[in-house]
Structure 1
């Protein structure tokens, strides 16, 4: 690919990380409904109401007070997401123009994911932070980040032959990547249900290794925020089940991603990937424990979401390297058979 494509792909990847962090900041600072409409804010596509007559008109139209600080948080997130969408559109156009050299379908898939993200962003507001939509929006953001990482990794992949790696390591890579993604989904479910503070101790929860839980209502997807499917108030036992499932998921990630990192450390050609993965894993676990013990200070809570993105990126990079195969040449290719065949024609 061209140098402009490489630069744009890397810039989009960094911007995606910023957008994921901003989304966490908006959600955790309780600004998810800072704007009651979409894509504008109180009817304005640029800025938020700040003049007295604008505020009066907005409050009359939407029936709620204008909270400018929350509205600005939401709009800055939307502007950053919109800029990311334009960058991905440009990547898709560049890839399509060079489709004779390489398939553009990964860029087209990425563009489709971003379109879905825009729809989920709208539904997040119009459906009043329904947990399944908020969690899906988070997963869409992480998927966007992951696909951009694949684009960058594919473009930076070494053209030289690489030593083959054992099949067991590839299986462990897939399991680790799957565990990280599931854990991100569980973390999103904790955040979208505001269940992070239900357990204030560690490693136990409410002083118990197996507290009272209600998994049925906890993991019913089609329900409103803070309510069961029947509309009753969601119980503390249900919130506890959500939180505890996230902790169990963290243990699985430590087992699989940690084991994957340790295996990578034993091979010189993958040692750097193992070190990066292990560092991201240790950082994320430390942030998770600190959030519990310190009762979710906003900077640490946002950092935990950013750490999840970094852990996903580190696991993905290691998995990409493990699946890079040597350019094995068949005997007749090594002997120059195609060239000889052409000479006979």
Structure 2
């Protein structure tokens, strides 16, 4: 009984940590998409303050100390609040990892996942620092997004494993369950790649490289002036301010087209290989519905971003729903797992 109670408490903390991570992801997207990523030019303080300059004398002192980056109070609070939230998530993740390790016998190996999250989140904090000190370097910004999603996935997987039992119905063929597990794992991998492409698109300011044109791009299905070589140069050195982007239009168009192609591949696999197969069985049908809804919503938000000119609420929601799609796929993966997994 004590073991069950302890596991239930860990599950609640894991869900709290996962939801906390989702909030940090969405708020981080809000900060990045509202061009507030460099609104605090130093780290971890903001113009030398624990909070941010508000009063006139504080703003004057900050402007004198950082003449190349005048204070924008309406943006600075966003960046510093995001840092506070990230700090709270680090503490929550550590608490989960410590509790899981102390109850590792009850968790049967699952304790390794929160421990991995606690190690990974420290690297995520470094990426957050480099995002500022390396002035929105695209590879770092993309890595920071992937790091946040990975932390969220580890925390969510811990919570799901402690909540969702595997299928015990003997009428569900083992071969079918194993195939659905593999297809779902591939879907998670494709979604992860697409999230990386989305981060690369955003960090290079390529979201509107095709204007408001969709599904074509600038009136063409395959623009002839795309520069794929420049589009995917990952490392360009340190010292350049990447705010606003440094690529020309041909490279940004290439990035946008690759992101669209990735979306088609993800939609095709998840919709027709994962959702369709999971919907056949009563044990996995609710999960198929959840994945399908998240997938359709994500695609709709992506199209709306282009057609409406990247409105901040929709662009922010696009990041959040990507995490929800990842969560729904992880839930299905947990549902069809075997004892060996």
- Could you state the TM-score of these two structures normalised by the residue count of structure 1? 0.89
Give the counterpart of 1:171 among 182, 187, 192. 182
Please, which of 182, 193, 197 is the counterpart of residue 193 of structure 2? 182
CA displacement, residues 231-281 of structure 1 (integer Å, 9 cap, x when unaligned): x95221100010000000000001111121111111111101111000000
CA contact (8 A) 1:132 1:221 kept: yes
Report what 2:292 is aligned to.
278
In structure 1, the residue matched to 2:123 is: 116
Does residue 263 of structure 2 align to residue 250 of structure 1?
Answer: yes
Asked if 1:203 is matched to 2:215, the reply is yes
Q: Is the 1:28–1:301 contact (alpha carbons within 8 Å) kept by the matching residues of 2? A: yes
CA deviation after TM superposition for structure 1 residue 51, in Å: 2.1
Aligned to 1:49: 53
Give yes or no for the alignment of 1:193 onto 2:204: yes
Return the alpha-carbon distance in structure 1 between the equivalents of residues 134 and 231 of structure 2: 19
Cross-structure match for 1:339:
none
Deviation at 1:159, TM superposition (A): 7.0
TM-score normalised per structure 2: 0.90
2:3 maps to which residue? none
> Whole-Å Cα distance in 2 between the matches of residues 120 and 247 of structure 1?
27
1:1-345 equivalences under 5 Å are 1-45=6-50, 47-63=51-67, 64-102=69-107, 103=109, 104-158=111-165, 161-162=168-169, 163=172, 164=174, 166=176, 167-199=178-210, 200-211=212-223, 212-223=225-236, 234-259=247-272, 260-325=274-339
How far apart, CA to CA, are the structure 2 residues paired with 1:3 and 1:38?
A: 38
Change (3 A) 1:245 1:224: farther
- The CA distance in 2 between the partners of 1:159 and 1:289, in whole Å, is 36
Report the more deviating stretch, 165-174 or 11-20.
Answer: 165-174
Q: Following the alignment from structure 1 to structure 2, what is the Cα–Cα distance between the partners of residues 131 and 233?
A: 10
Instruction: Rate the CA distance shift 1:130–1:233 in 2: closer, same or farther, 3 A.
Output: closer
Give RMSD over aligned pairs. Answer: 2.0
Query: What displacement does 1:62 show?
Result: 1.9
Shift of 1:325: 4.5
Deviations 1:31-68 (A, max 9, x none): 000100111111112x2111222222211112231111
Q: Please say if residues 165 and 322 of structure 1, whose CA atoms lie closer than 8 Å, have aligned partners that are also in contact.
A: no
Count of equivalent residues: 322
Higher gyration radius (CA): 1
- The 3-state SS of whatever aligns with 2:86 is helix
SS at match of 1:120: helix
| Range 162-171 or range 8-17, more displaced | 162-171
| Structure-1 separation of matches of 2:10 and 2:194 | 32
